[in-house]
């Protein structure tokens, strides 16, 4: 494993990790046919070799397949990594179900531990807030898992600052995982400041905009019908061309600075606070190395500010989720970002 620069390390509760981790979802879920088991294993081991230590999975991803993959491949390296998973949103009879009841959380944790092949999960998130269950009850169940030694620390995902504060009053929250990128600014409406104040890490998922903020943005017309981006308004014909025009401006800024678009996007996210950690996902070893390389780059503040002006909640076109999905998300909303 390559040792990361000490100035590239950030805290997630008791853990010290490089500021760029790996989101493992797309190795098993949401983006068309997953890679072969061999290719997925190669990606995970390449991440470890590149110095990544934070690996993020969930019971939902592949309806358990992603946890099994991570556990099988990284199990021999368990002491070298910080292992994060999630409960509260799982696959039931082939469909996604949000269920934050304490009994479900306890059962899901035991199932995840078995799939991951470990006796403890370092960071265990409530994947989504169940509107039918007070967050205090869900967090109380997570706290019981800590007391039982099955979980070391707990987190929340896609919740608001108000919900974070309620949860934190029940048991210390180590990390809040919300979508955050140049074109998704919801955390700036509350959780970015609240996490800083409370000493909670803000873990940014989709920091390169689900592939949009890369040198090869998706050709939406060529995406398979089951690709999750097909359901997202900002990728539709009504909004995508305008967003691509903004991305072209961003690409010009990156190129002039000798950066890739993904590196500029990641550098921007990491500049938002010393408590911010990014977990981009990829199926490409080359893209993985490109992402991790941002830790060795010094990107001028003026360039980051310019990037933030090109893409923001005031310029992006379309919401980040379809109207039917937005009620499931507890985060603050902002402009077109949903």
Half-sphere exposure of 155 (CA within 13 A, CB side): 29
Half-sphere exposure of 227 (CA within 13 A, CB side): 16
Domain boundaries, the chain: 6-209+267-299
Taking each helix axis from N to C end, the angle separating 240-256 and 301-310, rounded to the nearest 10 degrees, works out to 170
**Contact present, 262 and 295 (Cβ < 8 Å):** no
Give burial (CB, 10 Å; 0-12/13-18/19+) of 222: exposed
Across the chain, how many H-helices and E-strands are there? 10, 12
DSSP state of 316: -
Q: What is the pLDDT along the chain (338 residues), one digit of tens a residue?
A: 666 555 689 999 999 999 999 999 999 987 878 899 999 999 999 999 999 999 999 999 999 999 999 999 999 999 999 999 999 999 888 788 999 999 999 999 999 999 999 999 999 999 999 999 999 999 999 999 999 999 999 999 999 999 999 999 999 999 999 999 999 999 999 999 999 999 999 999 999 999 999 999 999 888 888 888 998 999 999 999 999 999 999 999 999 999 999 999 999 999 999 999 999 999 999 999 999 999 999 999 999 999 999 999 999 999 999 888 888 889 998 765 45
The residues, any chain, with a CB within 8 Å of residue 111's CB and separated by 6 or more, are 59, 64
What whole-number distance in Å separates Cα of residue 30 and Cα of residue 227? 6
Among residues 314, 244, 279, the alpha carbon closest in space to that of 57 is found at 279
Catalytic residues: 61
Pairing of strands 54-56, 82-87: parallel
In CATH, the architecture of 6-209+267-299 is Alpha-Beta Barrel (3.20)
Pairing of strands 201-205, 276-279: parallel
Q: What is the pTM of this model?
A: 0.95
Query: H-helix or E-strand containing 278?
Result: strand 276-279
- Mark 93-107 as b/e (b = at least 16 C-beta within 10 Å): eeeeebbbeeebbbe
């Amino acid at each position: 494993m390559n040792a990361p620069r000490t100035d590239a390390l950030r805290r997630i509760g008791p853990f010290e990790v490089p500021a760029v981790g790996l989101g493992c979802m797309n190795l098993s879920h949401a983006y068309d046919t997953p890679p072969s088991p061999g290719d997925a294993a190669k990606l995970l081991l390449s991440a470890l070799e590149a110095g990544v230590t934070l690996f993020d999975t969930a019971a939902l991803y592949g309806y358990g397949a992603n946890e099994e993959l991570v556990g099988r491949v990284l199990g021999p390296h368990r002491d070298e990594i910080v292992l994060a998973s999630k409960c509260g949103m799982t696959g039931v009879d082939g469909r996604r179900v949000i269920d934050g009841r304490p009994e479900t959380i306890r059962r899901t944790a035991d199932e995840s531990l078995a799939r991951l092949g470990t006796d403890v999960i370092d960071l265990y998130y409530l994947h989504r807030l169940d509107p039918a269950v007070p967050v205090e009850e869900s967090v109380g169940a997570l706290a019981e898992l800590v007391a039982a030694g099955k979980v070391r620390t707990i987190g929340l995902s896609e919740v608001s600052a108000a919900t974070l504060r309620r949860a934190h009053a029940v048991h210390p929250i180590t990390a809040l995982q919300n979508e955050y990128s140049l074109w998704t600014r919801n955390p700036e409406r509350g959780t970015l400041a609240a996490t800083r104040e409370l000493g909670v890490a803000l873990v940014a998922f989709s920091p390169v905009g689900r592939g949009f903020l890369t040198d090869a943005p998706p050709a939406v017309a060529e995406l398979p019908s089951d690709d999750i981006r097909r359901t997202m308004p900002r990728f539709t014909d009504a909004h995508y061309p305008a967003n691509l025009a903004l991305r072209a401006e961003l690409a010009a800024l990156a190129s002039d600075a000798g950066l890739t678009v993904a590196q500029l996007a990641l550098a921007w996210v990491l500049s938002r606070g010393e408590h911010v950690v990014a977990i981009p996902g990829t199926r490409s070893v080359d893209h993985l190395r490109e992402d991790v390389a941002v830790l060795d780059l010094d990107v001028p503040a003026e360039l980051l500010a310019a990037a933030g002006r090109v893409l923001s909640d005031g310029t992006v076109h379309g919401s980040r989720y379809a109207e039917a999905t937005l009620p499931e998300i507890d985060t603050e909303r902002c402009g077109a970002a949903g």
